[in-house]
Structure 1
Amino acid sequence: MFNDRSTPLSLLSTRRSARPREMVAPGPSDAELRDILTIASRTPDHGKLAPWRFVTVGADRRDRFNEILQDAFRIDRGRPDADDVSAIEQFAHQAPCLVVVLYSPQESAKIPEWEQELSAGAACFNLLAAAHAHGYVGGWITGWAAYSDAVRDHFGEAPERIAGFIYLGSPGVELQERPRPEYDDVVSEWRGT
């Protein structure tokens, strides 16, 4: 299923995202998910503010999640057509496991909000890496729902924002490697000029 994950470097070099719509059971057990989220919390966090939090959406709550998304679409974008309704329903029900990651900025005189946002992004990545280490695939999705206050209000309150919907499961199809940037295109040496 995966390349060797026996060392930290091979784990990091083989992690890749999967499409949530292609994920199948099994997903993480309750104990595995607890471990994944505990690891996700071990992220760079200047000032120890924990400016993020995780909300799990169980399989028994996916129908309600779909209702929330359908209602929010109407509020944000107007009457959905049949394709919108179908896409929203798929979004709500895809993959065995769903974690909503909230960016929860903390008031701080010392830690800028930008650093807190970076910490939330790092927590999302740690979640994906921990899922991979447990033998699962993950997909970090945003889209219109992540920017909808009507959706956010069911998980948190302003000034919180949805950092992403992270879906976890097993791959239903063989994962394809995507193009990666060329080393020289993204790495340079500063010469002090």
Structure 2
Amino acid sequence: MDALNLLKNRNSAAKLVAPAPSDDELSELIAAALRAPDHSRLRPWRFLSIRGDGLTALGDLFADAALLRDPTLGEVELARFRQQPLRSPLIIVVITCLQEHPKVPRIEQQMSAACAAHGILLAAEAMAYAGIWRTGANAFDSHVKTGLGLSVNEEITGFLYIGSRDGRAKPLPTLEVSDFIKVWS
């Protein structure tokens, strides 16, 4: 697939199965992420790779965090949180590492990390894998951040669920470019 076709046709996949990218392929995904726009070369991102037993541990962390947010949750709801990471054979946690810089505000650093996440999703698609970017309450939860070893200056940009697409790609809506661009003068 050529690059322009890839950009125009990448599609999130909510249903993912094994195989996931190998360690060598994961390195390629991260190499793509490292080309994100990065004002002043701050490299305001890092990544955690979670697979195997780590997915179960992440599910336990999600359930613990959910219970702290709402102590009235029952076992059925907690089981749902434990199952969330098991929907994918690989999760890449994209982390924004915020730095004080006179020319690069916080928002630019967050956008750079978001571009790195998008680079991973594009690279996965180019390698015949699929993925979906998830956030939700766990991405903003202090217990989850601590459990994943984030520093006080770090935040979760997203959880990228990566694997092989289970089934066919969902149809993409037809969008008219003219609806999104206007000439300004």
Please give the TM-score of this superposition, normalised by the length of structure 2: 0.94
Identity of paired residues, percent?
Answer: 34
1:67 corresponds to which residue? 60
5+ unaligned residues in a row in structure 2: which ranges?
Answer: none
Equivalent residues in 2 for 1:86-105, closer than 5 Å: 86-105=79-98
Report if the CA contact (8 A) 2:63-2:79 is conserved.
Answer: no
1:10 corresponds to which residue? 5
2:106 corresponds to which residue? 113
Equivalent residues in 2 for 1:138-157, closer than 5 Å: 138-155=131-148, 156-157=150-151
1:123-156 deviations in Å (ceiling 9; x for gaps): 1100100111111001000011001011011220
Once the two structures are TM-superposed, the CA of residue 181 in structure 1 deviates from its matched residue by 4.1
Report if the CA contact (8 A) 1:137-1:170 is conserved.
Answer: yes
Instruction: Give the residue type in structure 1 aligned to 2:134.
Output: I
Once the two structures are TM-superposed, the CA of residue 76 in structure 1 deviates from its matched residue by 1.7
4+ runs deviating over 4 angstroms: none
1:175 aligns with 2:169: yes
Structure 1 CA distance, aligned partners of 2:119 and 2:52? 23
Count of paired positions: 184
Aligned residues: CA RMSD: 1.4
1:166 corresponds to which residue? 160
Structure 2 CA distance, aligned partners of 1:181 and 1:149? 38
Q: Secondary structure at the match of 2:12?
A: coil
5+ unaligned residues in a row in structure 1: which ranges?
Answer: none
Report if the CA contact (8 A) 2:134-2:160 is conserved.
Answer: yes
1:187 aligns with 2:150: no
The 3 A distance-change label for structure 1 pair 34 and 183 is same
Instruction: Give the residue type in structure 2 aligned to 1:10.
Output: N
Structure 1 CA distance, aligned partners of 2:66 and 2:54? 18
